[in-house]
Chain A
Amino acid sequence: MPGLFEEKYVKREYECTGSVEQVEIVSASDAIYVTSGDVTRVTLSYWECPGTHEYDLREADGKLVLAFRDGGNILDGMHHIFRQTPIEMILPASFAGSLDLGCASGETELNVVNADKLKIGSASGRVRVADVSCRGEVNIGTSSGAVELQNVTGADFVVSGKSGAVRMDGIRALGRIESGLVSGSVSMTNVSAAGDVSVDSRSGGIKLESVSTEASLNASTVSGSIHCASLRTGGDIGLSSTSGSVKGTIIGREGDYAVSAGTVTGSNNLNNSEGGSRSLSVNTVSGSIDIRFVAGE
């Protein structure tokens, strides 16, 4: 029934009456777009169709909640419209509260935002976060949507997914970074962390370019390859694959590491050694190992 309710959609606009420290948005299929702009209070807009597609909006005690109201509409799933009905929120530049955004199938996008904590849960929608600064944890969970983080600062980063790819570029973590996937690939470029970096994917490849951490780094996959370039760590390194190759460069000297490297059927350019203040463990079953040490800048 395309367009049956098209003309009944009304754009609602809301400006918060006071200072907001906590924002929670729950959407079913509408996209969520958040950015900061020239406003003094949190403002948002969303679309409603009376009786078929409605939201509950509450603002109290510094908390703003916009939640999709599941009214039992029998047209759900058959209700097509030709316009997009996103939730758009503009935060004041001074915003320092926490954001909790969740949706079933809509995409979520944050651009140029400052926040305390950021939590995004998206069952199957794409998540994109760009130019965002958080004082606290950045926690992004998705089941099948891709996650893209670009120029994001935060304390700890936790990104988990089932089958979507994860791409992180220009990340600065004051704590740890943890990325776990079942079947997607993980790409990290220009990433620095004060804490441990852990990347895990069961059947996707892992790419780590210019990733540095003051602590340890662990990357493991079952059926993908691991490619690293200019890896710099203050602690131990573990790179593990079952059926993929492990290749790339580490900044430092081989003598800095107690090396333990092994492959069953591939070639291996590393020699096992003891000593060194840190450990380097590289393992694969059917892939090759080619890890080289290069001088840092």
Chain B
Amino acid sequence: MQVQNPNGKYRRQLAGTWVSEDGACKAVFADSVKITVTYGEAMLDGYCDVNPTGIAMAPVTSGFMGMAMMNAGMGQAADGFIYQHDLSEDFQLSLAEKALKKEDQAIYNIDFAWHDIYDRLHFDLSVLSTGEKLSLTLCREGTVPVPLKEGEVRCECGHVFSGKFCPECGRPRPAGGPETGA
């Protein structure tokens, strides 16, 4: 028995153009399974599938769920569930090609790609020449984030706040932003 286009509905949710806040990274989901990613002068042109993450399989350290820990980095736990890379994640991308190339030379590698419940796309990149890790967040083209006022920071969940903790998700204030206590 064959299931036709099992992940088509998830791929369609990602269809369109996504850009990072600084505009340096752009991802285009076109046709049915094609993806194009550009970052600087490097480019990836390949195929992808989109898989919904399974039951909350975020890595934990105790109990039988610790099995998920053993498979961290592999994307899929031994019981077949796809573990969550982040608590806000809803889809993971399976990329057939991972290297962003400039003139046939691989510059970056996409180690992990996922989408979150706030409708943002995330790429974890490695700079192949240095091993440096980069985390990029992309929004749908045309949805420009609200500019930050003085003292405000944007949480990983996308919420803008000025206190010590995000009132939306509870995460602590990201480092680097001045805290006004407002």
Contact = CB atoms under 8 A, between A and B. Distances in A.
A123 B31 contact: no
A76 B97 contact: no
B143 interface: no
A76 B33 contact: no
Interface residues of A, number: 46
Contacts of A79: 3-5
B74 A183 contact: yes
Interface stretch (B42-50, B83-91, B160-168): B42-50
Interface stretch (A36-44, A102-110, A208-216, A286-294): A102-110
Contacts of B54: none
Interface string A15-59: 000000000001111000000000000000000010011000000
Contact of A162 (B2, B6, B34, B98): B98
Contact of A160 (B49, B94, B99): B99
A77 B75 contact: no
Interface in B28-47: 31-34, 46-47
B8 interface: yes
B158 interface: no
Contacts of A85: 2, 4
A141 B49 CA distance: 13
Given A68-B33, A123-B47, A82 B1 contact: yes
Interface of B: 1-9, 11-12, 15, 31-34, 46-49, 73-76, 94-99
7 contacts: A68-B32, A70-B11, A76-B9, A80-B1, A141-B98, A143-B48, A183-B74
Given A104-B49, A121-B96, 5 more contacts: A76-B6, A81-B4, A104-B33, A105-B6, A203-B74
